[in-house]
Amino acid sequence: MEPQSRFLALKARHDELEDAIEDERNRASPNPMLVQMLKRQKLRVKEKLHQLPTA
């Protein structure tokens, strides 16, 4: 996968996770374990974004 394609895919996943975290937090009774799991996934994606070579 090209670096730019990889970046766009990771950025899209990061945004999806951000939305999922926000949706869960806004529920009447949010699941703290789910929020924590989503945050960890988001952090892993962020780390991968930072590991990508710069142009």
Helix/strand/coil for 30: coil
Per-residue pLDDT, 47 = 97
pLDDT tens-digit readout, 10-40: 999 999 999 999 999 999 999 999 999 999 9
Q: Which residue has the higher pLDDT, 54 or 20?
A: 20
Q: Give the residue extent of every domain in the chain.
A: 3-51
What is the structure's pLDDT at 48?
96
Whether pTM > 0.75 for this model: the answer is yes
Q: Is the pLDDT assigned to residue 55 strictly greater than 80?
A: no
Q: What is the CA radius of gyration of the chain?
A: 13
